[in-house]
Amino acid sequence: MLATLPHLIPSDFPAIRRKRLKTLQLNLGYRCNQSCLHCHVAAGPKRDEMMSRETIDLVIDLLGDGRIETLDLTGGAPELNPHFRDLVRAARARGVRVMDRCNLSILFEPGQEGLADFLAAQAVEVIASLPCYLQENVDAQRGKGVFDASIRGLKHLNALGYGAGNGGAGDSGLMLSLVYNPQGAELPPGQNELERDYRARLAQDYGIRFDRLFTIANMPIQRFGSSLLSKGEFQDYLQRLKSAHEPTNLDAVMCRDLISVDWSGYLYDCDFNQMLDLGLEDGHGQRVHLRDLLIDTLPGQPIRVADHCYGCTAGQGSSCSGALGA
């Protein structure tokens, strides 16, 4: 397992500490209908890890006190969790902003009928992975036929009112953001420039509109990290990230105001740390579970860092919400 490799820990990454918790990011399970090469979760159709109803009820109870502003749902394909829709309804009823990290092709999987309509009815923000506007690049990274399914999904979301704002929510209030990942061991290009290219090509070729584009660096962990190791490119990529480190990005990295929760309910500073099994610990070195989360004690607490953290501070910076400096 890559979490035990000496390539990532210990690290000389600068020490950083937490601010006020605003976002709860839930990994609802590692099962996915795709097996993307860049996936830092190593998700796929054969994974069986799935968040239980008991843990989801703990989340719902936590959302009731009004201190969590955003619920960020990820996976795998988060929609494959059988309790996904109940969780979304409960969060929205409590006034919590909900983000769904959707791979688009999931909209047409058996058992997911009406998913897009449900997301629209609940005013869920859709964060959709589309690593390129060219079919050959997307299918090479995510699997044959994924691009066509993604375009079909985006058109369906547009028909429901998603993406009407072209940079804002517009009259519909339904936000649609796209996510770009590089094809290989390179840093993402400038987010603003690439967003203009995406907007022009998708509108011209398919009549598709969206609100924002997020560029996210590939992390040297799990499936992508293994690919780098097999090609002998791991150390070169890690050095590329370190060489591009920008200290000004440290104040905006997502781990300062986000907690990541794995499918079994244990807590991490981010989902990358989750994949490396670098969990939150109490004063006795014991792992912290969601049931033990004390929100008021988090500000000022140190964040666990390792060399992969340079992926968030390299160049324009990178987080689950795209470039930090955009």
In tens digits, what is the pLDDT along the chain, a chain of 326 residues? Answer: 334 444 566 789 999 999 999 999 999 999 988 766 666 666 788 888 999 999 999 999 999 988 999 999 998 899 999 999 999 999 999 999 999 999 999 999 999 989 999 999 999 999 998 988 888 887 777 667 889 999 999 999 999 999 986 544 456 689 999 998 887 788 888 888 899 999 999 999 999 999 999 988 888 887 788 888 888 988 899 999 999 999 999 998 999 999 999 999 999 999 889 988 899 998 888 899 999 988 888 999 999 999 989 989 987 654 445 444 55
Q: Roughly how many angstroms between the first and final C-alpha of the chain, as a whole number?
A: 34
pLDDT at residue number 304: 93
Rounded to whole angstroms, what are the CA distances from 96 to 87, 130, 134?
Answer: 11, 26, 35
pLDDT at residue number 218: 85
Residue 320 forms part of a structural domain: no
3-state secondary structure (DSSP) of residue 264:
coil
pLDDT at residue number 8: 62
Residue 50 forms part of a structural domain: yes
Which letter, b or e, does each residue of 107-124 get, where b requires 16 or more Cβ atoms within 10 Å of its Cβ?
A: beeeebeebbebbbeebb
Residue 324 forms part of a structural domain: no
What is the span of the domain harbouring residue 188?
2-313
Residue 86 forms part of a structural domain: yes
Angle at 254 between CA 47 and CA 301, to 5 degrees: 105
Residue 322 forms part of a structural domain: no
Per-residue tokens: 133? 């506007």
- Is beta strand 23-27 parallel, antiparallel or unpaired with respect to 70-74? parallel
Per-residue tokens: 79? 């929609």
Q: Give the residues across from 315 on adjacent strands.
A: none
Look up the CATH number of the domain holding residue 232. Answer: 3.20.20
Question: Kind and range of the H or E element at 126?
Answer: strand 125-129
Give, as one character, the DSSP assignment of residue 15.
Answer: P
- Looking at the structure of the chain, the number of domains it has is 1
Residue 59 forms part of a structural domain: yes
Per-residue DSSP letters for 177-233? EEEE--SSSS----HHHHHHHHHHHHHHHH----SEEEE-PPPSSHHHHHHHHHHT-
Residue 325 forms part of a structural domain: no
